[in-house]
Amino acid sequence: MTLYSDNTKWLPRLNILALLVPTTMLFGCASVGPDFIQPEPPADNGYNVKKLPEHTVSAPGARMGEMQNFAIGKKVPETWWQNFGSSKLNAFVDQALHASPSLAAAQATLLQAQQTYAAQSGSSQYPQVNAKLGAQRQGTNNSGMGLAGGDRVFELYNAGVAVSYNLDLFGGNKRALESYAAQIDYQHYQLEGARLTLAANVVTAAMMQAQYAAQILASNAILAAQQSQLDITRKRVKLGAVSRSDELSLQTQVEQTRAGIPTLRNKLEQTNHLLAVLAGQAPGATEIPQFHLEDFSLPTELPVVVPSELVRQRPDIQASEALLHVASAQYGVAISNGYPQINLTANLGSQALTASSLFGAGSLVWGLAGQIAQPLFNAGLKAGVKSAEAGFDAAAANYRQTVLQALRNVADVLRTLDNDAQTMQAQVAANEAAQSALNLIQQQYQLGGLSYLQLLSAQQQTQQTRINLIAAQIQRLTDTAALYQAMGGGWVAGDSHAKPVDIPKSADTAVN
């Protein structure tokens, strides 16, 4: 892909310098170095070698078993989390976006970049004007200089204004400002990326909280049933109806189930702590909402943008492009260091022996000066240019890698969603079969047709399928959220949630 065009050669020969300077002064300043050109988008129309199906499979009648359609070219909504149909989730995401310290830090860093640009712009684009006012009292020794008369003491007053300006004939200062403006872009995209990541983390954590809570309830219910069966079995052992081994087998299962509950509870508590911190609160905050599986609905229309549009909708890709722009501008700065530097100075003031006559007609003093400096020998200049060029090449490679990783991210999520639906379908069928089998075995066990070990095996199978079904339901939700994140979360280049500023974008500052 074409990354830049070079409108100048390497450092000019001294024999053309005499022609270059007056030409530049007549026709305006020219910025040396490469003019940044936005990288070309990927030409691919899809993300996988295997064609993506139009929709996923479904598990009719099951919660989170709906069929999901892949809508090619559909725009991702900016508030994509609202598609999960939970007002509780919507409110908490908004709370996190307003209170997160990570977003506050990103916002402050963006403001720092903006003010850095403003500072550099003021010092390089405009003349520097300084005013001075002074007074001094001085004595002379006339006899020491062979003159007659006594010593003389006089006072000297002076006031003036000095103006200095760097005539940026070859655009070195403009390239530097272009670099600072591109850094503003980078911090802007970093802020948008932080917003997207924060929203995705809140959504995912809320869903995981619902999963752990549901699995704890299911495990507690199973534990209660197993404990009841264990109590019955112990009574039967005393009556000699069953063997001691049946009791021990059931007790083992009870304790295994009991041991798994604290692990789930620990995950739930850690998720609660994570939700609190994401919302800018201490881990012990009591305002954290409790989410349940019933709070969410599964989006059935999934937006899928093509790769050429993806590069404009992912903040991480745009941030990498901004760094490429920074490297391009810095390359131009390094080249400009080999060109003449022209500085103009002027001063206007007044000098007098008395304060009353300081601004009189005869006290005016002025001065004009110009200075041109052309490097004749500096062994480090060429190395500096090559260093900047290598930095540009590295930024270009990093950009290509960022794009490839983004394409891979989307490809993985799309395939995962398809596989999630198939897993969900199988888990629903397994849960229904396990529940039906358990009902039959319980009936036969009560009639004495089956042993307690057979009932225990059926309970174990039902327990596992119920917990696996909950995990499959949440997995579909979290992977759907991952797709929205992979698609850029509805943000596109040019949109901004940052505070408005009066600083031009880098595309404007690159103009000669």
Highest mean predicted confidence (pLDDT) among 21-25, 117-121, 150-154, 311-315: 311-315
pLDDT band at 500 (very low <50, low <70, confident <90, very high): very low
| Rounded CA separation 308/15 (Å) | 47
pLDDT in tens, 328-348: 999 988 888 887 777 777 776
More confident residue, 126 or 96: 96
**Separation of alpha carbons 360 and 437, rounded Å:** 112
Instruction: Note whether 169 and 21 are within 8 A (CB).
Output: yes
25 or 123: which leads in pLDDT: 123
**pTM tops 0.75, yes or no:** yes
Helix axes 172-239, 244-278, angle to 10 degrees: 160
pLDDT reported for residue 2: 40
pLDDT at 361: 61
**Average pLDDT over the chain, rounded to whole?**
82
Which pLDDT score, from 0 to 100, does residue 479 have? 97
pLDDT at residue number 463: 78
pLDDT value of position 23: 42
Q: What is the pLDDT of residue 122?
A: 73
Least confident of 13-27, 279-293, 333-347, 454-468: 13-27
Q: How many CB atoms lie within 10 A of CB 325?
A: 27
DSSP string for 130-195 = EEEEEEEEEEE-TGGGT-SS--EEEEEEEEEEEEEEEE-TT-HHHHHHHHHHHHHHHHHHHHHHHH
Q: Is pLDDT above 90 for 493?
A: no
Query: If we measure between CA atoms, which residue out of 81, 77, 78, 99 comes closest to residue 90?
Result: 81
The rounded distance, in Å, linking the Cα atoms of 420 and 185 is 37
What domains, with CATH codes, occur in the chain? 4-509 (1.20.1600.10)
Q: What's the rounded Cα separation, in Å, for the pair 429 and 436?
A: 11
The per-residue pLDDT for 50 is 81
For residue 271, the model assigns a pLDDT of: 96
Q: How far apart are CA 325 and CA 186, in angstroms?
A: 9
Q: Which residue has the higher pLDDT, 405 or 456?
A: 405
Residue 284: which residues within 8 A CB-CB, separation 6 or more?
276
Q: For residue 488, how many other CB atoms are within 10 A of its CB?
A: 28
Contact 150, 123 (CB under 8 A): no
Percent of the chain with pLDDT over 70: 78
pLDDT, one tens digit per residue, over 184-215 is 999 999 999 999 999 999 999 999 999 999 99
pLDDT of 110 over the 60 cut: yes
Q: Pick 86 or 148 by higher pLDDT.
A: 86
